[in-house]
Amino acid sequence: MTEKAATPLLLLHPSRGLIDEKFSLMVQNLSQIQEITLHALIHSDDGDYWEAFGHYVSDATGLVNVANDSSLGGTYDGVKPMGLLWSMRPVPGSRIGLRLRKKEVHTPMLVHISVYRGHMSQGFKEQVALASVVTERWYMSPGVRRVDITEGGITGTLFLPPGPGPFPALLDLWGGGGGLVEYRSALLSSHGFVSLALEYMTPRTSGGSTSHVGNEYFEAAFTVLKQHPQVCGDRIAILGLSFGTSVALGMAVYSTVIQPRCLVCVSGSHVQPVKGSLSDVFSEINKYVYYHVFKDVGQLKCPVLMIVGEDDQNWPATESAEDMKQMMEKAGNSHLLTTLSYPGAGHLIEPPYSPHIRASNFMVAGTRQKFVVLWGGETAPHGYAQEDSWKKTLSFLEEHLYRSTEVTSPSNL
């Protein structure tokens, strides 16, 4: 009697982890030198489906180990252990201009991973998988608390790490798209930092208007953090993406209230069209394509980490970083500047393993004007930039916010 072949087995570890945590993935019990396709599928909070896939060939023992084996094709190639995540794209027939963003951070992102016979590039829904697993990817680790903030005239969400603290903190500023974006703050809190995700383009407390959002608004947010009983008031950083970088630099240079311990500036610039409220700023942006007010970064007194994608098609991030370097050298404070520059990376440098978004829909804050914006970047180098810059961002924050022995050390999550 012929011995029945063993059923293919898909092994993934850990089955539950933080979004920036690597997993191991193997397929066992295959035939020798068998062609297979590994396929990952996500159903987003917006109701859209995203997928990625890689083509593999088993070894003489019937094993595929994604950590060591090369993908021969698909949405990524080569030895890319996390390629099934960062190379994701909307499934064929999806709406145009999509962007994968987690809206409900108290729930996991569920990734369905399946193995199929042969090398496939389409029609996965019509085929029967040899084996499947589901992994939970979280932005919030167990014990992290989420608190809505409306005090002091500001709108935001505060994330607190487990334990009594006090903890170092961050003011988290996203870019010009508006809305309240929480997932980065949730992840930062999972690494031991209090983080306030601030809504400032369309704050709900003002009916969506930005006419009152000026220096005082950001100073109020900084003060809320500083006075929180679980925050080390003299250990607060600001993290800005895109337009959030201009805000962060402006506050650090000109405000007498905001005195950050350090800054992290992602894909941004040290220029701003006009002084005044955000409605004044965006009124000018909609009229002109040039920027003419430079932040006097020579006055910076805190360490700055600049993260730049060299294929940024949205902001002059590379040119701004070089100009900042020259201005700070002239002022004698260039020792405070660290620049990470990534060839082939675009504008939207997000936490690790987020899909590369080369272009997506964008709505100008305070208007109903909607269009597709080119962010730039190539998928593989952009994915590398996200992974590398995030590790170095956490190290930078730990160095400048957790150096003192008086501060509670971050827990191992």
Query: Of the residues 228, 277, 312, 354, which is catalytic?
Result: 312
Reduce the DSSP state of residue 325 to 3 states and report it: helix
Query: Of the residues 71, 141, 189, 242, which is catalytic?
Result: 242
Q: What are the two backbone dihedrals, phi and then psi, of residue 124, each rounded to the nearest 5 degrees?
A: -65, -35
Specify whether the CB–CB gap between 194 and 158 falls below 8 A: yes
Active site residue 242: yes
Kindly state the tokens that stand for 375. Answer: 């962010």
Closest CA to 107 of 19, 188, 171: 19
Percent helix, strand, coil in the chain (nearest 5)? 25, 30, 45
Specify whether the CB–CB gap between 188 and 163 falls below 8 A: no
Identify the helix (H) or strand (E) that includes residue 365.
Answer: none
Say which residue the tokens 């005090």 belong to: 151
Say which residue the tokens 């630099």 belong to: 249
Cα dihedral across residues 216, 217, 218, 220: positive or negative: positive
Active site residue 312: yes
Strands 304-309 and 370-374: unpaired
Kindly state the tokens that stand for 317. Answer: 């991030």
Query: Which residue stretches of 137-291 are H helix?
Result: 183-190, 215-227, 243-254, 278-285
Distances in Å between the Cα of 207 and the Cα atoms of 81, 193, 198, 302 are: 45, 30, 16, 35
Specify whether the CB–CB gap between 237 and 400 falls below 8 A: yes
Query: Which residue stretches of 195-332 are H helix?
Result: 215-227, 243-254, 278-285, 317-331
Specify whether the CB–CB gap between 194 and 269 falls below 8 A: no
Question: Side chain identity at 63, as an amino acid letter?
Answer: L
Cα dihedral across residues 162, 168, 171, 174: positive or negative: negative
Query: Which residue stretches of 140-296 are H helix?
Result: 183-190, 215-227, 243-254, 278-285
Query: Of the residues 39, 228, 347, 356, which is catalytic?
Result: 347
Cα separation, 382 vs 387, in Å, equals 9
Per-residue exposure over 125-151, b if at least 16 CB sit within 10 Å of its own CB, e if not: eeeebbbebebebbbbbeebebeebee
Q: Indicate which residues carry an active-site annotation.
A: 242, 312, 347
